Amino acid sequence: MRLLKHVAQRIVTEVSKVIDEEVIVINNEAFIIAGSDSKRIGSYHEGGKEVIKTEKKLMISEKDTQRLKGVKVGLNLPIRFQKKIIGVIGITGSQPATVRYGELIQRMTELIIQESYAAERLDSKLRGLETFVYEWLHTKNVTEEFRERGEILGIHMSEPRYCVLLQLDDKTNTDIEPDVLERIRNLYPNESNDVFVRWGNGRFVLLISAIHHSEKEMFHSLQNLLSHINNVYHSEMRAGISRKHDDPTALHLAYKEANQAINVKSSIEKVVFYDSLTLEIALGEITKETREKIVNEVLGKLMDEPELLETLQAYFHHQLSVKETAAALHVHINTLHYRLKRIQELSSIRMKETKELVTLFLALWYHQDEIG
């Protein structure tokens, strides 16, 4: 393993917190790659070269500074990783504390490197997984070689799955994404059965095993996740869920379904199943120009009456129940009757005529979808 500059600088920063001396990190070519004195970075360190060669610590005296290039009085210690010397840490000074804490600092340095290596490996694995999932959800031809790649990544490729898309609202700080991933990991700890990756800013994709999770269980677990995000971070999150797909070659269809489900803006539900969207999917096929024509012709003057539009939306949401709508809006029933009468007058829609009522519903649906 090569000692990376950002890891070396982290070592300098952490060691400088516990010892009041100049600290440098030297790579296995004997060049200083990080240090508390930035002027020394890039210079050759002959003492480091000797430590790398002998694999032993070296205490540099005042006399040694005359014969060794680029050194100062102090202690130089080998940095080991997986039983190999990958660099040297140098601590300037001849104080007893420098020597006394030498082995402790050496051990601390090696722990930092191990932690960084583990993080790099995890990051590399996640990037590989993200690439694989992206290909999987955009291909119609899952070859045997592709299946083998999935199995190497630890994925059970033959399991029937749901595709779930999660989306944080646009105002959410992306700093919460690691916590979201950790929450998902807690909900679905078996990564062979359930695959999840980041999918762009504030978006995540989950490929959930239909063998190990029912739709009901999935609904409740996602509701809990969304509630946690809302309660802790005061942020909204939506989930779109595809139908179950038995064939791994059909996951591109599952992704399309989940995408359609999460993009139904008119739905007040935060967890939306594709199966529940028969009407919305049909309405979504209408062209933008036709939608605009319907909205303008049907709603007309209502577009300038936000209170009446809110009333109409509540009326439809509560299945045309006057009692429930009035309660939801916190108004007297007589007030609601007056508003419904005004809606009929401004739109010229007879709300007791089924065809005209459906037309009004469609216009409102398209209007809500347009404004998000």
Indicate the burial class of 272 (C-beta count within 10 angstroms; 0-12, 13-18, 19 or more).
buried
**CA-CA distance, 22 to 30, in Å (whole number)?**
17
**Amino acid 128: pLDDT:** 81
Over the Cα atoms of the chain, what is R_g?
32
Of the CA atoms within 13 Å of residue 41, those in its CB half-sphere come to 12
340-355 per-position pLDDT tens digit: 999 999 988 998 899 9
> Mind listing the pLDDT tens digit of every residue in the chain (372 residues)?
678 888 888 889 988 888 888 899 999 999 999 999 989 999 999 999 999 999 998 989 889 999 899 999 989 999 988 888 999 999 887 666 666 777 788 888 888 888 877 766 666 677 888 889 999 999 888 888 898 888 888 889 989 999 999 999 877 777 788 888 888 888 888 877 899 888 888 899 999 999 999 999 999 999 999 998 889 888 889 999 999 999 988 999 999 999 988 887 555 678 999 888 767 666 766 778 888 898 889 898 898 899 999 999 999 999 999 999 999 999 999 999 999 999 999 988 998 899 999 899 988 888 887 765
> Is 239 in a helix, a strand, or coil?
strand
Assigned fold of 5-118:
Beta-Lactamase (3.30.450)
What residues contact 130, with CB distance under 8 A and at least 6 apart? 197, 198
What pLDDT, on the 0 to 100 scale, is given for residue 366?
A: 84
Domains in the chain: boundaries: 5-118, 137-276, 286-371
CB 266 within 8 A of CB 280: yes
Point out which residues pair with 191 in neighbouring strands: none
Phi, psi at 240, each rounded to 5°: -115, 130
State the fold for domain 137-276. Alpha-Beta Plaits (3.30.70)
Q: Does domain 286-371 have CATH number 1.10.10.60?
A: no
**DSSP conformational letter for 44:** B
DSSP state for residue 141 in the 8-state scheme: -
